[in-house]
Chain A
């Protein structure tokens, strides 16, 4: 067993190489997409798709980090640094990568991403004209800036205190300062994520509204954060960066149980949204679902239910599965694929009504953004140990048994 004190930051050349390949491939596909008029519009939707995925993983991890502090959890101290690593893009990268969305909004004529950004279109549409006090570019950008600032502020606070512990600087005080921000974070998170979901995803179809939409997006976000966390923990453990005996099967069981629970939560929220719309049968609500059950989209909707709920639920049902690292890896990969699919299902039907379209024009931004995310993780690993070595509760967390 490696002594805890000797854990130091380690560069992962493999992760860096994968990240760079994805980034370069993504950029390579994005540049030609930006040149053609039709492919430029497809690029816009695809960028939002990739960005929303990055956002889901980052804020999903930030949610669990905040939950850890809010509940004064002890079992998860061993994986706290991994949550911090996955949440770290929220300190700056998430905001920087939002700039293309801002540009696509301001250059609406070239990208036509948000229909409400088209003044001529809004003028002849009484519903959109009525929504103008909320759905207008300056207010949209101000809100986005606020959300990004709130997330960056809390993430910076959690990370700064955590890094102070590494240096052995007032470790107990740092725990208390992180815990103190747990509850304010959770309240701010709930509001900002709901509004961001409405702004960035629901307003792609500005006629439609669903009051549960924020929770729906959050449920996918929590799942993606968990799946990324589980994958990262298992990868770090297998590569020996997290020393033997740190993350036990009991910790894995907890991650598996949370993944299991949140898959059921997603199904509950998704079905609640669908059933209420189906039951009330009001045309101003049903068309959104109707669009997604037509043509090729029906298959995507069915695949979504399978990938997000049925498969993860039954794979994780046995107790043994939640303790088995390889099963957890498989489920996490399915869950992350499910998040890609879910965001595709939310964004793309607004562009391609007839059925799902996926070509090189769609692949550039997701690949580049996935590469950017991995690059950020590899930079984090090169600078920080992947275990919260200074946390006074670390030893207790390592002894955690179910």
Chain B
């Protein structure tokens, strides 16, 4: 049987109600932590402000992508209908922007939508196979009825005692270490 190595990668504090979490998030932010996160079963109102999360660039980049889609649509419809394969339809001008507005709209939305989706995955670092939180056992709880703050050991301010003290000071009664297990390279042999 392979031996499991493990190391502590942080501390998690679990709360029973969302408003306690929001208040605690303000405290953690004020204490100067930078590598930390909250985990909740549903979006909690006011949590982004409490955590001090800056405005995401997703919207702005999505808008630019939308304009790229609009340009593509104008080029595509114009090139196809008026230049490459001109067909007169109903006596209307070859380049009838009125008829193409739905295409302008659709490609605007398509480009913006796909870009936003890609950015959300990329910036949210989604699609990781593994996170220490999966080993910790808190995931079943924070996807059900509890709210967690996780302070990561990689934070420059981090020390286990200070982190525990900070969480305790915010009224957290359930503080757990976050352990990451690493299997030996030859685990399957």
Interface of A toward B, CB cutoff 8 Å:
271, 274-275, 278-279, 281, 317-320, 401-402
Contacts and interface: CB of A to CB of B under 8 A. Distances in A.
6 contacts: A271-B101, A274-B98, A278-B98, A281-B92, A319-B59, A401-B45
Given A274-B98, A275-B98, A320-B55, A402 B46 contact: yes
A401 B99 CA distance: 42
B46 A275 contact: no
A233 to B, nearest CB: 21
B90 interface: yes
Contacts of A319: 55, 59
Contacts, number: 21
Contacts of B9: none
A193 B59 CA distance: 37
B98 A318 contact: no
B63 interface: yes
A312 to B, nearest CB: 16
A402 B90 contact: no
Interface of B: 45-46, 55, 59, 63, 90-92, 98-99, 101
Nearest to B46: A401
Closest 10 CB pairs of A and B: A401-B45, A401-B46, A278-B98, A275-B98, A402-B45, A271-B101, A281-B90, A319-B55, A275-B101, A319-B59
Q: For the complex, would chain A's binding face be called helix, strand, loop or mixed by DSSP majority? A: helix
Contacts of B98: 274-275, 278-279
Given A278-B98, A402-B45, 6 more contacts: A279-B90, A317-B63, A318-B59, A319-B55, A319-B59, A401-B45
A281 B92 CA distance: 10
A271 B99 CA distance: 11
Nearest to A271: B101
B12 to A, nearest CB: 25
Contacts of B45: 401-402
B106 to A, nearest CB: 13
A48 B55 CA distance: 46
Nearest to B63: A317
Contacts of A274: 98
Contacts of B59: 318-319
Contacts of A281: 90-92
Nearest to B99: A279
Nearest to B49: A401
A353 B46 CA distance: 55
Contacts of B55: 319-320
A192 B127 CA distance: 53
A42 B63 CA distance: 45
Contacts of A401: 45-46
A278 B89 CA distance: 13
A197 B43 CA distance: 42
Nearest to A277: B98
A261 to B, nearest CB: 15
Contacts of B91: 281
A271 B63 CA distance: 22
Nearest to B90: A281
A279 B92 CA distance: 9
A274 B98 CA distance: 9
Nearest to B92: A281
A278 B55 CA distance: 42
A54 to B, nearest CB: 33
Contacts of A271: 101
A281 B99 CA distance: 12
B113 to A, nearest CB: 15
A296 B151 CA distance: 66
A318 B46 CA distance: 19
Contacts of B92: 281
Contacts of B101: 271, 275
